[in-house]
Structure 1
Amino acid sequence: MDFLKKAAASVSGEKKEQKPAGESKDYGDKAFAAISKQSGHKVDDKTAEKITDGARGLYEKFSGKKVDPKYSN
């Protein structure tokens, strides 16, 4: 089924961001992408993922609470 979706997207000229299997953008990644875009900074996905993972790690370390995977995985 994915093959058909990719074929349809290539025919229509759409370009989708390719992420490794099982890895999707969570709310933290989307928020970071929006903020960096608004500020005029270009940050690639790999770097953005490292930044948001680091921020999540700091939050969990200092608060002692786990972040819901819905917001940051």
Structure 2
Amino acid sequence: MDKLSGLANKLGGGNKSNDQGSGGSGGQEDYLDKGLDSIESKYGGGKIDPQKMRSTNEKITDSARTRFEGATGHKVPDKISN
């Protein structure tokens, strides 16, 4: 869990205002967010609660989207990411 938090801080810069903004969209999880939640549940050994890690997960998936778009020059399809 510390590794995920450290990664999110490096990628997201630890911006507190961004954390609050992601909480407003509560049930708006896309496939990328759900996939990360599933990985945490399956391989986290019961120590990671995806709902408590929501802001960290948002930073990770947002960074993944940005890197994908930068590397390919294409936007992530709306079906996968909002």
TM-score (norm 2): 0.58
Higher relative contact order (CA 8 A, sep 6+): 2
Structure 1, gaps ≥5 residues long:
1-18
Could you say if the C-alpha distance between residues 69 and 22 of structure 1 is closer, same or farther in structure 2, counting changes exceeding 3 Å? farther
Distance 1:52 1:60 in 2: 12
- Alpha-carbon RMSD across the aligned residues, in angstroms, is 2.0
TM-score (norm 1): 0.65
Structure 2, gaps ≥5 residues long:
1-22
Q: How many residues align?
A: 55
The sequence identity of aligned pairs, in percent, is 40
Q: Which runs of 4+ in 1 moved over 3 A?
A: none
User: Whose Rg is larger?
Assistant: 1
Greater share of helix: 2
Distance 2:25 2:34 in 1: 18
2:44 paired with 1:35: no
